[in-house]
Homo-oligomer: A and B are copies of this chain.
């Protein structure tokens, strides 16, 4: 798929997530792979409102997070996290949201290092899961403003939990990914639904 198509799709993702309250303020960031050799990533600029993105707002970066071409914006501060996920999982799209439930659950379960979701039909929406009788471990990383340190811990976590479909940052939000933008968007919907079920049930 070409850059304009990917950008348009991410604009729509932003609008949909904003209407559900998952990217309030300037929170959240999205990326999609333009090419793999060399790696070129389309990514949301820092401090943009995700519900009102325009296709021209997106930046193109390389494997080191450097912006290519002329551009006014800076890439999202969390660019390195996107690159780690693309490298570790071979993802074509990485989506990051900040919802009320992912914030609450990521704090509540932080000391256990993650949370388990099991026995729910909705799990079948995760890539490769074929039964509700599945145990999904969502690792939770402590939040950190030092992106070098955080991306290194993320790399280790992704390597340790090869089957995880998502990562939570404590008090911060959710990262998930997919082969395509539609796949990653579906996983955000699935996980946010599951977090709401678990959060409401636990109270």
Q: Determine which residue in A25, A173, A197, A200 has the highest number of CB atoms from chain B within 10 A of its CB, and name it.
A: A25
Cβ–Cβ contact B121 & A171, under 8 A: yes
Enumerate chain B residues within 8 angstroms of A20, measured Cβ to Cβ.
Answer: 21
Q: How many residues does chain A have at the interface if contact means C-beta atoms less than 8 Å apart?
A: 40
Cβ–Cβ contact A145 & B173, under 8 A: no
In the assembled complex, the Cα of A20 lies from the Cα of B18 at a distance in Å of: 11
- The stretch that binds B, out of A31-39, A96-104, A151-159, is A96-104
| Nearest B residue to A169, CB-CB | B121
Task: Check: A120 CB closer than 8 A to any chain B CB.
Answer: yes
Enumerate chain B residues within 8 angstroms of A82, measured Cβ to Cβ.
Answer: none
Enumerate chain B residues within 8 angstroms of A190, measured Cβ to Cβ.
Answer: 24-25
| Nearest B residue to A193, CB-CB | B24
- Interfacial residues of chain A within 121-150, with CB under 8 A of chain B in the complex: 121-122, 125, 130-133, 143, 145
Cβ–Cβ contact B25 & A125, under 8 A: yes
Cβ–Cβ contact B197 & A24, under 8 A: no
In the assembled complex, the Cα of A38 lies from the Cα of B65 at a distance in Å of: 47
Cβ–Cβ contact A197 & B122, under 8 A: no
